[in-house]
Structure 1
Amino acid sequence: MRVAQTPFGLNFRDNRTRGILYQWLCVAGVAAAGLYLFGNVSQNLARQNIATGFSYLWREAGFVISQSPINYQPSDTYAKALLVGILNTIRVSILASIVATIIGTLVGIGRLSSNPLFARLMLLYVEALRNVPLLLLLFLSYAVIVTILPPVREALQLLPFVFLSNSGLAVPAVAWNIDHTIIAATLVAGCALAFGYARHLTHRRIESGADQARWPLIGVLVFGPGVLAWLILRPDLTFSLPEPGRFRLAGGTRLTPEFVALLVGLALSASANVAEIVRSGILSIRKGQREAAAALGLRPARIMRLVILPQALRVIIPPMTSAYLNVFKNSSLAIAIGYPDVVMVSNTTMNQTGQAIEPVALFMLVYLGLSITISLFMNWYNTRVALRQR
């Protein structure tokens, strides 16, 4: 029996054809709704004489940002202020993810300890942090830092030119310039070369069985480019030393209470989830793997490091992606304790310019871009550690 065809040669009785058609209809519906909302908002804003567009980004910001990883002045543009907020968000989120991974891995392994008291203490740690809202952890850590540490006038001198007070930890800093950036880039490139060379030697050892000394040449690859760049550029080393004043610590660089409180809150909250992910990943490995490794004479610590955890990574990595995404998205609560992240900078911009839609759209786009980047990286790493059929 011949199937009737449409004028365009499409067979709507085919499931694949109908699926593609429904997807295009859905995309068209979303696009139409977006255009309607955009036109409606534009008309209402024009009726109320509210400026629209992103031209405000190139106007002078005129407000101070307490913490900036790059050189920023109030006379700079809103675009640069937004960049500072983005960099602050990325910096604290990456550090919190690293700290949460280390603590969570140790706690997850500790939950499986044969010592019942230690295992229950780790359980208490996990349950306490998983059932306390992150916002309360931020308030608690910030209050503890500000309350316990002395004021600036009575700052504790831990080391020469290292002061600790309720305004933060002040340490000496180097006046950074382009030469230092080039040297840092060469060090990163050296580390990449050393990593590639180490992998090459590993593959050669697997194929031929011949082992080759690594560390002399790897050390040269890591530090050689940086030392060579240092000898060529010969950058100036100008130190800014902190000095206690009546109301604040001048000079140097500081780890502010807001930064530390946000870092501690994010790391502790995420570490509880990481601990459960690690524990479930370890439990997914069959008991025979541990027994076989013990039969070979390996100690428990080496069994965990060389046998159990490498296999558990295949189970741990996918849920860890969600944990890292939550760290980046939860960093938006930084505004509650005054840390100048992208949300706080955007809120200040909205209050000064009177434009709300564009700043909100920008920081939504920032979080979307960060989330997609993390997902792509973790998916790539997951494919690297996944089992491959021969």
Structure 2
Amino acid sequence: MSPKHSKSNDVNPILTLLYDKTFRSVVYQILVFGGVFLLGWYLVGNTMANLESQNIATGFGFLEREAAFGISESVIAYSPESNYGRALLVGITNTLKVASIGIVLATILGTLIGIATVSKNWLLRFIGVTYIETFRNIPVLLQLIFWYAIINRGLPNIRSALSPIEGVYLSNRGLYIPVMADHPAWTWVGAGFIVGIIGAIILRKWSLKRLEATGHIFPHLSVGLGIVVAVPFLVWLVFGAPTELNMPAIQGFNFQGGARMSPEFTALLLGLTLYTTTYIAEVVRSGIQSVPHGQTEAATSLGLRSTWIMRLIVLPQALRVIIPPLTNQYLNLTKNSSLAVAIGYPDLVSVSNTTMNQTGQAVEGVAIFMTVYLSISLLVSFFMNWYNKRMSLVER
């Protein structure tokens, strides 16, 4: 073999690596990661230098200082003597309260309206479509302001509060209702309620297995509802059946006692629920329509009622289409709750803004509520992805 021919067959290892797709993909990822890291390093360093040059304190030590401002409503105990950390925790719990209640209500109402839009009854279809096209095309911020104005301006003042039922008062200060007075029994009643729900879930699983095995229908909904009601009722009887009420009453310029639903919370919950319901209804409608019509025809030929067809045949199959976009709507509702600052509801953003104005530590404040919203969104996504996997078809 000639030296020239031998040299032409030599393979350059560097060129081999450059033409290797796996090697190039790793190099590109390292370069991109390095670029992002350097950019972040520059931005953080530049921010810290600017804060230091302006003598602005940095760090999260301000969370231990006294907040010295009031919060109109909170799920947990709070006073102006509490620290900023406690104030931010109040904002977080208020956000979680309105988001969790809104998700439950929007899911129920959206499912009902979604079913109505595919109903054979023209009146139900008309109501469902009209609702969707009306509330979906009005920006959610305008809806919040509208409902707040209706509640705050349309209702009488506290001295002329409406009282349709004894002990219930409705005014521009909110809705006041009686609640049960403090008693150890109520803790156990709550535990009994949870036990009843677990029992109803177990009963439902058993009834579905029985239906698949024998074809016999067991009324698990009515029996399960009876369990949910009966267990806490029996616990209530065991602990002496306390009936004392904490009644709201006018004292000075406001109501004292009872439970209060503020105008801000009501307007926020109403606006978020009505707006998100329209999108959930469309998701439910598309999921139902994705189920082949032959499934419904086959069930009808077997003599099943329409309610059983929808609940046992159509909706279980539609859930596989519904769940992924439904997750997006849950996340949107949670993030849209940050608009509460426009109507004065003390959510996380509102409390954070007050904290930043008083301490001057805007970077830390923004970082806190960004991290909180990111964490909530990731938890919701994780749960919905887990549920989606459980509902997916199992290949054999």
User: 1:204: Cα distance to partner?
Assistant: 7.9
Alignment partner, residue 277 of structure 1 = 283
Amino acid in structure 1 at the alignment position of 2:38: A
Alignment partner, residue 55 of structure 2 = 49
Of 288, 296, 303 in structure 2, the residue corresponding to residue 290 of structure 1 is 296
Of 329, 341, 350 in structure 1, the residue corresponding to residue 347 of structure 2 is 341
Alignment partner, residue 127 of structure 2 = 121
User: 1:101: Cα distance to partner?
Assistant: 1.2
The answer as to 2:75 corresponding to 1:99 is no
The answer as to 2:323 corresponding to 1:323 is no
Per-residue CA distance 1:194-227 (angstroms, 9 max, x = gap):
6457646765886799999989999889976997
In structure 2, runs of 5+ residues without a counterpart are 1-8
Please identify, of 181-190 and 356-365, the stretch whose mean Cα deviation from structure 2 is larger.
181-190
The answer as to 2:201 corresponding to 1:168 is no
CA distance in 2, matches of 1:167, 1:19: 61
- 3-state SS in 1 of match to 2:394: coil
- 3-state SS in 1 of match to 2:176: strand
Please report the RMSD computed on the Cα atoms of aligned residues, expressed in angstroms.
Answer: 3.3
CA distance in 1, matches of 2:102, 2:350: 19
- 3-state SS in 2 of match to 1:139: helix
Residues 238-387 of structure 1: pairs in structure 2 closer than 5 A: 240-387=246-393
Question: 1:298–1:230: structure 2 CA closer, same or farther, 3 Å change rule?
Answer: closer
User: 1:50: Cα distance to partner?
Assistant: 0.6
Calculate the TM-score normalised by the size of structure 1: 0.87
CA distance in 1, matches of 2:114, 2:227: 37
Question: 1:237–1:355: structure 2 CA closer, same or farther, 3 Å change rule?
Answer: farther
- 3-state SS in 1 of match to 2:156: coil
Look at both structures and tell me which one has the larger radius of gyration over its CA atoms.
2
CA distance in 2, matches of 1:254, 1:95: 16
Question: 1:204–1:23: structure 2 CA closer, same or farther, 3 Å change rule?
Answer: farther
CA distance in 2, matches of 1:29, 1:229: 63
Contact 2:92 2:348 in 1 (8 A): yes
Question: 1:156–1:54: structure 2 CA closer, same or farther, 3 Å change rule?
Answer: same
Per-residue CA distance 1:115-143 (angstroms, 9 max, x = gap):
33442332221111111100110011111
Per-residue CA distance 1:22-53 (angstroms, 9 max, x = gap):
33332232222112111111111011011110
Please identify, of 64-73 and 299-308, the stretch whose mean Cα deviation from structure 2 is larger.
299-308
User: 1:190: Cα distance to partner?
Assistant: 6.2
User: 1:192: Cα distance to partner?
Assistant: 3.9
CA distance in 2, matches of 1:99, 1:221: 19
Contact 1:61 1:75 in 2 (8 A): yes
Question: 1:203–1:19: structure 2 CA closer, same or farther, 3 Å change rule?
Answer: farther
Please identify, of 84-93 and 158-167, the stretch whose mean Cα deviation from structure 2 is larger.
158-167
Residues 25-40 of structure 1: pairs in structure 2 closer than 5 A: 25-40=31-46
Please identify, of 11-20 and 267-276, the stretch whose mean Cα deviation from structure 2 is larger.
11-20
Contact 1:184 1:226 in 2 (8 A): no
CA distance in 2, matches of 1:364, 1:334: 16
Amino acid in structure 2 at the alignment position of 1:100: A
CA distance in 2, matches of 1:183, 1:117: 42
Contact 1:152 1:245 in 2 (8 A): no
Calculate the TM-score normalised by the size of structure 2: 0.86
Residues 79-94 of structure 1: pairs in structure 2 closer than 5 A: 79-94=85-100
User: 1:238: Cα distance to partner?
Assistant: 7.6
Alignment partner, residue 5 of structure 2 = none
CA distance in 2, matches of 1:180, 1:3: 81
User: 1:81: Cα distance to partner?
Assistant: 0.8
CA distance in 1, matches of 2:214, 2:123: 49
Question: 1:16–1:196: structure 2 CA closer, same or farther, 3 Å change rule?
Answer: farther
Contact 1:314 1:386 in 2 (8 A): yes
- 3-state SS in 1 of match to 2:314: helix
CA distance in 2, matches of 1:21, 1:341: 45
- 3-state SS in 2 of match to 1:157: coil
Amino acid in structure 1 at the alignment position of 2:324: P
User: 1:98: Cα distance to partner?
Assistant: 1.3
User: 1:274: Cα distance to partner?
Assistant: 0.8
CA distance in 2, matches of 1:231, 1:302: 38
CA distance in 1, matches of 2:232, 2:41: 53
Per-residue CA distance 1:232-289 (angstroms, 9 max, x = gap):
9x99998543112342112222000111100010001001111111111111111101
- 3-state SS in 2 of match to 1:53: coil
User: 1:383: Cα distance to partner?
Assistant: 0.6
Residues 180-259 of structure 1: pairs in structure 2 closer than 5 A: 184=190, 187-188=193-194, 191-192=197-198, 195-196=201-202, 199=205, 240-259=246-265
- 3-state SS in 2 of match to 1:169: strand
What is the aligned residue count? 386
